[in-house]
């Protein structure tokens, strides 16, 4: 029997910005890495000194996306007061204070979804 543990918690967040590196049409991970320079994205976002959280993958609703960009993006929460330079290819949006749930699972071997629509 295989046991998988998923850690969940409710997190309260203050007003902050979301630094976003979008794709073009990506709706998931594999589409995203096929569209973007994933090495640049991860290297850049991993070295942001004004981060208030870890980098994450997000699905943005249409109202939070720039025209011509994907719903699936790499993102990082940054300080609301930050007004410095934004890395090339990234943009920011303002996020209000909120509560959200975080789900974190055990490491696993990633496999590309080979199912055909």
Per-residue pLDDT of 26-47, as tens digits, reads 999 999 999 999 889 989 988 8
* pTM of the shown model: 0.78
pLDDT at 117: 44
Report d(CA 19, CA 51) in Å as an integer: 9
pLDDT at 105: 79
Residue 54 buriedness (CB in 10 A; 0-12 / 13-18 / 19+)? exposed
Domain segments of the chain as ranges: 21-105
- Per-residue pLDDT at 110: 63
Q: What is the tens place of the pLDDT at every residue in 93-107?
A: 999 999 988 888 777
pLDDT-based confidence at residue 88 (cuts at 50, 70, 90) = very high
Bridge partner list, 109:
none
**Lowest mean pLDDT segment, chosen from 52-66, 75-89, 94-108:** 94-108
């Amino acid at each position: 029997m295989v046991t998988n543990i998923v850690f969940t918690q409710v997190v309260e967040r203050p007003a902050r910005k979301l630094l976003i590196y979008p794709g073009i049409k990506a709706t998931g991970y594999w589409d995203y890495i096929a569209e973007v320079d994933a090495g640049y994205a991860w290297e850049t976002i991993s070295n942001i000194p004004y981060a208030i959280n870890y980098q994450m993958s997000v699905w943005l609703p249409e109202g939070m996306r720039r025209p011509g960009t994907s719903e699936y993006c790499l993102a990082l929460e940054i300080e609301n007061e930050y007004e410095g330079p934004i890395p090339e290819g990234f943009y920011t949006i303002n996020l209000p204070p909120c509560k959200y749930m975080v789900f974190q699972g055990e490491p696993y071997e990633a496999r590309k979804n080979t199912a055909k629509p």
